[in-house]
Amino acid sequence: MDQFGSSLDRLARAYEADPEKRRDLSQDIHFQLWRSFQRYDGRCSLRTWVYRIAHHVATSHVIRERRIFWSLVTLEELETFPDKEGPEAATRRVNLDRLSALVQRLKPLDRQVIVCYLEDLDAASIGEITGLSPGNVAVRIHRIKNVLVKWFHEEKNYG
């Protein structure tokens, strides 16, 4: 678990903004992983197994905790979002908070792709974890990059 500990902490941040709930989610992920290892039979790599279980736990958490007046969005919808914050507010915020807030707005599957991408996984591994075809992964990563560039670089130009 030492090998994946930091990645799993970051993954929990992508799914839960509240620190207390995030700690619980992180513990749930470790607990479910601990339970799951007796079933691991090497049919996929250990990394794929760990990420799958972690994303499954986090996805369950998101679906269970969904708020009625807080809709999650798809990548396509996120692309059309205007950046409502002015340059002043934007410069005040830490980049990591902005990145996390953006990721936390996404629906679970898009969130899986973006987290795996940010964790530096290759397209084949992302496909194996999410079940998306390489073409689909490529398109989504391309869109993710465009959204990130739009949200971050435009704001730098304002500043």
Find the shortest distance in angstroms from Cβ 135 to other proteins.
8
Nearer CB in complex with other proteins: 60/104: 60
Cα 24 to Cα 28: distance, rounded to the nearest angstrom: 6
Cα-flanking dihedrals φ and ψ of residue 13, to 5°? -65, -35
Return the number of the residue (78 or 123) whose C-beta is nearest other proteins.
Answer: 123
Give the residue among 106, 131, 158 at the shortest CA–CA distance from 48: 131
Site of interaction with other proteins (CB under 8 A): 1-2, 5-6, 8-10, 13, 26-28, 30-36, 39-40, 43-44, 49, 52-53, 55-57, 59-60, 63-64, 66, 68, 71, 74, 95-96, 99-100, 107-109, 112, 117-120, 122-124, 128-136, 138, 141, 145, 148, 152
**Nearest distance from residue 151's CB to other proteins, in Å?**
10
- At closest approach, how far in Å is the CB of 82 from other proteins? 20
User: In this complex, which beta carbon is closest to other proteins, that of residue 38 or of residue 82?
Assistant: 38
Nearest distance, CB of residue 78 and other proteins, angstroms:
13
Residue with tokens 């990548």: 75
CA dihedral 145, 150, 153, 156 (to 10 degrees): -150
Least spacing, CB of residue 86 vs other proteins, in Å: 21
Distance (Å, rounded) from C-alpha 59 to C-alpha 93? 27
59 burial level (CB within 10 Å; 0-12, 13-18, 19+): middle
User: Based on CB atoms, which residue is closest to other proteins, 30 or 143?
Assistant: 30
Q: What are phi and psi of 155, to 5 degrees?
A: -70, -35
